[in-house]
Amino acid sequence: MSETFKVCFCCSRSFKEKTRQPPGSIKRLFEAYSRNGKMSSDDLLRFVSEVQGEGHAGMDYVQGIFNSVKHHNVFHIHGFVHLNAFYRYLFSDTNSPLPLSRQVHHDMKAPLAHYFVYTGHNSYLTGNQVNSRSSVEPIVQSLRKGVKVIELDLWPNPSGNAAEVRHGGTLTSHEDLQKCLNAIKENAFYVSDYPVIVTLEDHLPPNLQGKVAKMLTRTFRGMLFRSDSESCKNFPSPEELKKKILISTKPPKEYLESQAIQSSRRTPVDRATSWSGTTNMSWRGENKIPEEDEEDEESEAVGYRDLIAIHAGNCKSGLEDCLRDDPEKPRRISVNEQWVENVVRTRGSDVVRFTQRNLVRIYPKGTRVDSSNYDPHVGWTHGAQMVAFNMQGHGKQLWTMQGMFKANGGCGYVKKPRILLDSQRLFDPCKRLPIKTTLKVKIFTGEGWDLDFPQTHFDQYSPPDFFVKIGIAGVPRDTVSYRTETAVDQWFPIWKQEFLFQLSVPELALVCFRVQDYDNDTHNDFAGQTCLPLPELKSGIRAVRLHDRAGKPYKNSRLLVSFYFDPPYTGINAELPKIINQRTMEVLGTLDIVIVGAGISGLSTAVGLHRLGIRSMVLESSDKLRATGFAFTTWFNAWKAMEALGVSQHVRDLHDLLQGWVVGHISPGNPSKEMLFPKSEEYESRCVQRKVLLEALADELPQGTIRFSSKVVHIELSGYYKMVHLSDGTILKTKVLVGCDGVKSVVGKWLGFKNPATTSRLAIRGLTHFAQGHGFGKKFFQFYGNGVRSGFIPCDHNTVYWFLTHTDEETSPENIKEFVLNKIKDLPENIKSVVETTDLDSMVMSRLKYRPPWELLWANIAKDNVCVAGDALHPMTPDIGQGGCSAMEDGVILARCLGEAIKAKGETEDEGERYKRIEQGLKKYAGERKWRSIDLITTSYTVGFIQQSTGKWMNLLRDKFLSSFLSRLLLKKSHFDCGSLVPT
């Protein structure tokens, strides 16, 4: 079937319609837990226990899964599950990443100051802060979403005889106070029975304060909580305050002057319904509201004061007084976001201490007239309970707020983690803490947009091009974001990308997703978002439901994502690990082979060994696979290596076969020469994206082979073993150590290699994507002259890789694009457009380096069962395109030599004999690679020198006589077959 998009009245575009098919990784998972294409209840129970981490699950749980997908009509007659039913279960709400039940599961018996509370700002406004309409509707909507703090601004009406709700000093309309109070009364406990706090920004004279006191009393009656005690050590708990409405505002000035009289006017009933100085349990009865004709004749100010359960104040009297903690009476202060940002730079721990007993309310700064919001973590990481937000706004800050309060059953109260409540060891968010856990997130696929959006919502003439932005919102050290590749023209995109997040304070972290449709010419289209509180995140493969900009869930749009913690994370209120001065060293079990570096040579070696049945561990210093340089041209030798490793067909399918190249001078007036490649496997050439190749190799390895964030800092010998020290204190004990860690190789330095030589040339590389196709065909365009060499190579129909090498001074990153365009100003417009459309974050600049070939004549490529490969062995200039290709050669040959040595094990062999056998295998590898490496380094340097040299005679010699020779030389060096993994 095909999907058609109408371009004009006479033309249309058709795309092959893709259906909801499980990705290959899900199919393989199903096969591992099923028999003959069907999964029994016992199989499903094993899956949810082992993969999903549902250790509590029993047959009742499994039956619930069966019931959730039985309407798909894809069961065997005896209750077995087909692949499609299993896939539907994975995408169902039953498989949520958060606890299914909306039950409250935090301890709700602690003082109110121990909780984050879902808080609104100017809760009555429908839009901006300047001229929008005031209404009860935003109040109703907020309460029904779980907001538990409602703010009302009270001002006298124009006649001065009544109070009204409005944003003073603006053009916003007003709303009737009684309507607002009724809305609060009717919706306060819609989501949960936990208390609602009404904060009053009071701008009223005493007579109107008295009227407001009567309105509050008549409206809320028994719901209204009154505090009578002048001395209490802590606020009551949310559990004690169930079904109560608390008023919080500044005490009236008149009351402060008559405070001495106040205590004599309290009734016994009042005292029974307040919290005392030693316990919060003295108010167990219902509030009894006196009849109006029995009301005391006290002043309006004192009557208004009686209703204030939480005293509020500001910070106008100085910082010390503001953060003063009165042990006899907790209070609330209200400050704006700028005040907090300024204070926490130097007094962050003092703010944390203050919030352990007192309440802090933070509100948006006055310049946010558009009802935008700020980063809530500024408040949360310092213990602020009431981070007040404009709920009528949109944006990632509000999505973070909504995500935080999905926790604890969405009741509007989230227990603060213990790190914020420890009075002995005060938490400082600015302090660099040790990594507590690593969250591994793998995004498989997504679906549902075709049901939630019209066909042409994202793109008028084609299916959408989705990508996902994923990140952590938390303390500064943990906050980071990444994005997937773009899945072009797919309603059902498949990404299969994994991201790692190192977390020092997971208790305060959220993992956030945002899906967008890529648009080359306009802003990317929004396609859904969600934020999930990390302390409640469930491990396993989960269906992540997406929401619209306002936070309302879409009916169908979801992502399929796996979450795993390493080490396992215990969730809410996990204690902060003790920081010790001396680093603890952890020595893991003995390993056969450790490979340093998850680049092309490292992964090629690991895959080769894996195919020979030999397990290895790959250490990568980064937290994910790195694709420095974006892409490279692959020739005959690279494809022979990929065929040996078993990844060639997958890589071929994703990249266009180049038909030839076009070579010309970078200056105008010089005709270009075109050379077509013969149709033979010896001339197969494609421009391969490094990331695609690395992921293809990584997918061939067993899970856990690559150990990310593992930087090698020291290597030492211990008998027949190598002790590899990592920056996190771990020590790995291995029989064989392979250095594939690039030009600054730690392993190479241990072997005695010098740092690579630096040339006078720099390389700028870039990758750009054309959503509608680049139009270059399938040819390699190369231009040289004036000390410059540049190339433009299509990877596929939409993607172009380009480079420029030059001998000028280094350029600042923000000026790279302008610099390149100046160098190629005389080239055709379509060539220049490639650079013009490249994002700055898709460009890199680096100094070209190489290893002088004579160093390899006497270097120790292998010693003590330690060796090097790839750029650690033979860094070279890119002029013959053999850096990545030869790295794959290294991997295949090294795996073959090691495999041959390891598998030739004798029956009575001791450790020393095994050591010598492996040593001979590595010497064989070193002998095979030494002369090949010398040849490639020398040729590459020479070709680069000729191509970028300037001068009249050199230009004439190169253009007339050497250009065709250099092309033939390049092809000649690529005609190398590394052979298979098994020796012939």
Can you tell me the distance from the alpha carbon of 118 to that of 398, in angstroms, rounded to the nearest whole number? 11
Q: How confident is the model at residue 300 (pLDDT cuts 50, 70, 90)?
A: low
d(CA 645, CA 641): 6
Confidence of residue 195 (pLDDT cuts 50, 70, 90): very high
Phi, psi of 142 (to 5 degrees): -65, -50
- CA distances in angstroms from 13 to 2, 16, 453, 765, listed in the order given: 10, 10, 19, 34
In this structure, of 311-315, 654-658, 899-903, 944-948, the range with the lowest mean pLDDT score is: 944-948
Element (H, E) at 898: helix 883-903
Beta strand pairing call for 115-120 and 413-415? antiparallel
Q: Which pLDDT does position 22 carry in this prediction?
A: 87
Question: What is the Cα–Cα distance from 851 to 876, expressed in whole angstroms?
Answer: 7
Which of 612, 699, 473 lies closest to 892, judged by CA? Answer: 612
The reported pLDDT for the residue numbered 807 is 83
Q: What ranges make up the beta strands (E) of 700-785?
A: 706-707, 712-718, 721-726, 730-739, 757-769, 779-785
Q: Over the stretch 880-901, which tens digit does the pLDDT of each residue have?
A: 889 999 999 999 999 999 999 9
pLDDT for position 576: 30
Determine the pLDDT at residue 8: 63
Alpha-carbon span 605 to 333, nearest angstrom: 61
Q: What is the pLDDT of residue 639?
A: 95
Task: Assess whether 121 carries a catalytic annotation.
Answer: yes
**Residue 212 pLDDT:** 94
pLDDT at position 812, please? 80
- Residue 469, pLDDT > 70, answer yes
What integer is the mean pLDDT of 172-180? 95
**What CA–CA distance (Å, rounded) separates 33 from 47?**
7
Q: How far is CA 273 from the centre of its chain?
A: 48
> Exposed, middle or buried by CB within 10 Å (0-12, 13-18, 19+), for 285?
exposed
Q: Cα 734 from chain centroid?
A: 33
- Can you tell me the distance from the alpha carbon of 887 to that of 634, in angstroms, rounded to the nearest whole number? 11
**pLDDT number for residue 19:** 62
Mean pLDDT of all residues in 484-504: 89
Q: Of 235-249, 271-285, 737-751, 877-891, which gets the smallest average pLDDT?
A: 271-285
CA distance readout (Å), 530 to 95, 99, 482, 564, 608: 16, 16, 15, 18, 40
Pick from 413, 634, 439: which is nearest to 542 by CA? 439
User: Which distant-in-sequence residues (6+ apart) come within 8 Å of 133 by Cβ?
Assistant: 125, 126, 127, 172, 173
pLDDT band at 382 (very low <50, low <70, confident <90, very high): very high
Q: Look at residue 283 in the predicted model and tell me its pLDDT.
A: 38
Residue 360 has pLDDT above 60, yes or no: yes
**Pairing mode, if any, of strands 757-769 and 843-850?**
antiparallel
Half-sphere exposure of 72 (CA within 13 A, CB side): 21
Question: Quick one: DSSP state of residue 649?
Answer: H
Strand partners, 36: none
- Distance in angstroms (rounded) separating the CA atoms of residues 605 and 740: 9
What SS3 class is residue 198? strand
CA dihedral for 640, 646, 649, 650, sign (positive or negative)? negative
Residue 328: the pLDDT is 78
* Residue 363 pLDDT level (bands cut at 50, 70, 90): very high
Tell me, letter by letter, the H, E, C secondary structure of 481-528.
EEECCCECCCCCCEEEEEEEEEECCHHHCEEEEEEEECCCCCCCEEEE
Q: Report the percentage of the chain scoring pLDDT > 70.
A: 86
| Least confident window among 38-47, 522-531, 605-614 | 38-47
Q: What is the pLDDT of residues 582-616, one digit of tens each?
A: 333 344 457 889 999 999 999 999 999 998 889 89
CB contact at 8 A, 984 and 820: no
Express each pLDDT in 227-267 by its tens digit. 766 557 889 999 999 999 999 998 876 444 444 444 444 43
DSSP 743: T
Strand, helix or coil for residue 388: strand
Beta bridge partners of 310: 248
Q: Angle 177-187/137-144 helices, nearest 10 degrees?
A: 20
Cα separations (Å) of 502 from 176, 566, 769? 50, 9, 30
Note the pLDDT of residue 3. 60
Is 167 part of the annotated catalytic residue set? yes
Most confidently modeled range among 260-264, 494-498, 763-767, 908-912: 763-767
**pLDDT at position 286, please?**
39
Contact 393, 441 (CB under 8 A): no
Query: pLDDT confidence of 289, banded at 50, 70, 90?
Result: very low
The answer to whether 322 touches 315, Cβ cutoff 8 Å, is yes
pLDDT of residue 589: 54
Can you give the pLDDT at residue 548?
Answer: 94
Of residues 318 and 398, the one with the higher pLDDT is 398
Q: Which residues contact 330 (CB under 8 A, 6 or more apart)?
A: 111, 113, 232, 233, 234, 235, 357, 358, 359
Separation CA 332–CA 973 (nearest Å) = 76
Which pLDDT value is given to residue 61? 80
Residue closest to 682 by CA, chosen among 937, 972, 929, 882: 972
Phi-psi region of 629 (alpha: psi -120 to 50; beta: other; left: phi over 0): left
The yes-or-no verdict on residue 275 having pLDDT over 90 is: no
Cα separation, 148 vs 588, in Å, equals 49
- pLDDT value, residue 956: 53
pLDDT given for residue 879 in this prediction: 84
Residue 116: pLDDT band with limits 50, 70, 90? very high
The pLDDT value given to residue 260: 40
Distance of CA 677 to the CA centre of its chain: 43
Give the range among 1-5, 117-121, 133-137, 592-596 with minimum mean pLDDT. 1-5
**Which run of H or E residues covers position 389?**
strand 386-389
Distant-in-sequence, close-in-space partners of 741: CB < 8 Å, separation ≥ 6: 596, 597, 599, 602, 621, 712, 747, 748, 872
- More reliable by pLDDT, 262 or 307: 307
Between CA 339 and CA 361 the distance in angstroms is 12
For residue 513, the model assigns a pLDDT of 97
- Which tokens hold the place of 734? 């291995």
Whether 974 and 635 have beta carbons less than 8 Å apart is answered as yes
pLDDT over threshold 50, residue 424: yes
This prediction has a pTM of: 0.58
pLDDT at residue 280, rounded to an integer? 40
Three-state DSSP state, 328: coil
Q: Is the pLDDT of residue 296 over 50?
A: no
pLDDT at res. 567: 78
**Residue 403 CA, distance from chain mean position:** 15
Q: What is the pLDDT of residue 175?
A: 95
Q: Angle, nearest 10°, between helix axes 883-903 and 600-611?
A: 30
Catalytic residue among 106, 114, 167, 382: 167
Q: Can you tell me the distance from the alpha carbon of 32 to that of 5, in angstroms, rounded to the nearest whole number?
A: 40
**Residue 870 carries which DSSP code?**
G
For residue 955, is pLDDT > 60? no
Please report which helix (H) or strand (E) contains residue 362, including its range: strand 359-363
Q: Which of 70-74, 405-409, 477-481 is modeled with the greatest confidence?
A: 405-409
- 284 has pLDDT over 90: no
Tens digits of residue pLDDT in 44-103: 888 988 888 887 778 878 877 777 666 555 444 456 788 888 898 899 888 999 987 678
Q: Is the dihedral of CA 924, 926, 931, 937 positive or negative?
A: positive
Q: How confident is the model at residue 287 (pLDDT cuts 50, 70, 90)?
A: very low
pLDDT at 970 over 70: yes
Weakest-pLDDT range from 99-108, 343-352, 566-575: 566-575
Band (pLDDT 50/70/90 cuts) for residue 967 is: low
Tokens at residue 356, please? 């352990």
Q: Which distant-in-sequence residues (6+ apart) come within 8 Å of 385 by Cβ?
A: 112, 113, 115, 116, 117, 119, 355, 359, 360, 361, 416
Strands 779-785 and 660-665 turn out to be parallel
In the set 121, 377, 769, 806, the catalytic residue is 121
How far apart, in whole angstroms, are the C-alpha atoms of residue 349 and residue 425?
10
pLDDT in tens, 913-928: 889 999 999 999 999 9
Q: Does 326 have pLDDT greater than 50?
A: yes
Q: Which tokens sit at 977?
A: 């077959």
Choice between 943 and 187, residue whose per-residue pLDDT is larger: 187
User: Can you tell me whether residue 454 is helix, strand or coil?
Assistant: coil
Q: What counts of helices (H) and strands (E) characterise the chain?
A: 28, 38
Looking at per-residue pLDDT, the higher value among 287 and 515 belongs to 515
Please, which pLDDT band fits residue 6 given cuts at 50, 70 and 90?
Answer: low
- How does the average pLDDT of the chain come out, rounded? 84
User: What pLDDT sits at residue 322?
Assistant: 83
Contacts for 170 with CB less than 8 Å, ≥ 6 apart: 129, 130, 131
pLDDT given at position 903: 81
Main-chain phi, psi angles of 605, to 5 degrees: -65, -45
Q: How far apart are the C-alpha atoms of 961 and 499, rounded to whole Å?
A: 51
Task: Specify the DSSP class assigned to residue 394.
Answer: -
> Among 122-131, 311-320, 629-638, 729-738, which is the least confidently predicted range?
311-320
Q: pLDDT band at 381, cuts 50/70/90?
A: very high
Q: What is the 3-state secondary structure (H, E, C) of 153-194?
A: EEEECCCCCCEEECCCCCCCCCEEHHHHHHHHHHHCCCCCCC
